[in-house]
Amino acid sequence: MAGWNNNQLRKYNIKFEKIPVLQHDDPKVNSLLCNNKPVLIKGSKLVSSVLNWDLDYLQKHMSSVCCNVMVSTNHKFKYYDQKKITPSITFKPQSRPSSMTFSEFAERMKTWKKGAPRLYLQQTLNNSIGHHVVRDFVMFNWDWVMSKQKICKWGALTSNLLLISQEGNITPCHYDEQQNMFAVVKGYKRFILFPPSQFECLYPHPVHHPYDRQSQVDFDNPNYTMFPKFKDACGYEAVVGPEDVLYIPIYWFHHVESLMSGGYTVSINFWFKAGPIEKIEYPLQDYQKMAIMRNVEKMLGEALHDPNDVGSMLRTIVVGRYTSEEL
Ligand code: SIN
Ligand code: FE
C-alpha cells in the first residue's frame, strides 16, 4: 500500500500524465535513460544503505557540521544565483541561504511552529560531513548508478546534494543543466516534470536574471495574462518514496514538493554532467535548442555590456521579420 494519499498533494490547475514506473532490471529502463525520458525506478538499492538517515541519526553523526539551510517566509524555495544580483534590478527573494550547524538545524526542525520561517537543508555531501556519514556514503550502490552513467555516456558525477525538507515545502518549477538521479530516503516527494519542448508554456526568467532557469509562473496563482501559454502546459507526475530513484533528464523542467504528511523528507540527488557530443544530428533535440538559446542570450548580454538591452535587440531582430504574421 502506498504510504501517502491524494489529500497530501497540493492542488494545481495543470494537466498531467504519469511518469512510467519500472523495476531496475527492466530493459526499458536503459532505453528511457539513454533517450532523456523520465522514469521512476524501483529496486535499485541505490540508497538502501542509508535508510537510517533521519534527523536523530544525522544529528548524532553530523552535529557540528556547518550546513547550508534555505530559510523561507513561505512554502516556496525558489533558487537564485547570488552572482546575478546587480544594482540595476530590484530583487527581493523570499528564501535565503543561511549557515548553521546540523544540530541547530535539527533542533529548529523539531521545535518548528506554524507561521515561523520554513527550513530546507540543501547540503553537498563532501568530506566535511564527518567520517561516519562518509562511511555510509561509500555504501551507496555506486556500481548501479555508475553503470547507468556508462551506458548512457553521461559525463562525470559532479555532486551529491543531501536535501532535508519540511512537509509542504516546494522547490518551484525550474530546469538544471545536468542529468539527475534523484533518490528518496525518507518520506514522499511529488514531482511534476515538463519536457524542454514546453519551454514556451513555462516562461523561464532571462539568463541574466538571478532566477535564471526558474519558471516565472507561480503555480499557486498563475498569471494567465502574462503567461497565457501556461494553460497548454502538460506535465508528467510521480510520487517518489523511500528507495525509489527518479531520473530527471537534463533540461527537463521540474517542480518538487514534500508531501503534506506531517513528517519531513530526506533525499539525495546524483548530478552528472552532460555527455560529450560525438556527432551532432539534425533535427536538433529540444534540449539542444535550449542550450543554444542560453548561449545567444549570454552572448548578446556580453556584447552589449548590459543585459537590460538584450530584450530590445532580440525584438528588433525578430518582430516584423521572423514573426509568422509578417511572413
Ligand atoms: C528538491 O528536491 O526540492 C529539488 C531537487 C532538484 O531540483 O533537483
Ligand atoms: Fe533541480
Residue 104's region, left for phi above 0, alpha for psi from -120 to 50, else beta, is alpha
Residue 1 has pLDDT above 70, yes or no: no
Using a 6 Å cutoff on CB, does residue 269 contact ligand 1? yes
What is the pLDDT at residue 324? 77
Q: Both ends of the chain: CA-CA distance in Å?
A: 57
What is the pLDDT at residue 29? 98
Calculate mean pLDDT across residues 82-89.
92
Gap from CA of 320 to ligand 2 centroid (Å): 36
Gap from CA of 107 to ligand 1 centroid (Å): 23
Gap from CA of 39 to ligand 2 centroid (Å): 16
What Rg value do the Cα atoms of the chain yield, rounded? Answer: 20
Enumerate helices (H) and strands (E) in the chain, giving the number of each. Answer: 8, 14
Instruction: Answer yes or no: are the C-beta atoms of 194 and 233 closer than 8 Å.
Output: yes
What is the pLDDT at residue 88? 84
Residue nearest to atom 3 of ligand 1 (CA): 171
Query: Please, which pLDDT band fits residue 89 given cuts at 50, 70 and 90?
Result: confident
Neighbours of 268 (CB within 10 A): 21
Gap from CA of 182 to ligand 2 centroid (Å): 9
Name the burial class of residue 177, with classes exposed (0-12), middle (13-18) and buried (19+) by CB atoms within 10 angstroms of its CB. Answer: middle
| Domains in the chain with CATH codes | 12-272 (2.60.120.10), 286-321 (1.10.287.1010)
> Which ligand sits closest to the CA of 247?
1
Residue nearest to atom 2 of ligand 1 (CA): 256
HSE, side-chain direction, 13 A CA sphere, residue 102: 24
Atom of ligand 1 nearest to the CA of 171: 3
Using a 6 Å cutoff on CB, does residue 72 contact ligand 1? no
| Residues near 206 by beta carbon (within 8 Å), at least 6 away in sequence | 212, 297, 307, 310, 311
Using a 6 Å cutoff on CB, does residue 265 contact ligand 1? no
pTM: predicted TM-score of the whole model, two decimal places: 0.97
Calculate mean pLDDT across residues 146-153.
98
Neighbours of ion ligand 2 (CB under 5 A): 176
Neighbours of 254 (CB within 10 A): 22
Query: Please, which pLDDT band fits residue 327 given cuts at 50, 70 and 90?
Result: low
What is the pLDDT at residue 127? 87
Query: Please, which pLDDT band fits residue 101 given cuts at 50, 70 and 90?
Result: very high
Measured CA distances, 78 to 72, 92, 96, 175 (Å): 9, 11, 9, 12
Atom of ligand 1 nearest to the CA of 79: 7
> Which ligand sits closest to the CA of 180?
1
Using a 6 Å cutoff on CB, does residue 240 contact ligand 1? no
Find the length of the chain.
327
**Long-range Cβ contacts of 307-316 (<8 Å, 24+ apart):** 307/206, 307/208, 307/209, 308/88, 310/206, 310/208, 311/206
b or e along 140-167 (b: 16 or more beta carbons within 10 Å of the residue's beta carbon)? bbeebbeebbeebebeebeebbbbbbbb
Calculate mean pLDDT across residues 38-57.
98
What cell was used for 75? 512554502
Beta pairing partners, 284: none
What is the pLDDT at residue 278? 85
Query: Please, which pLDDT band fits residue 325 given cuts at 50, 70 and 90?
Result: low
The residue to mutate among 173, 174, 256, 258, having the most atoms of ligand 1 within 8 angstroms of its beta carbon, is 256
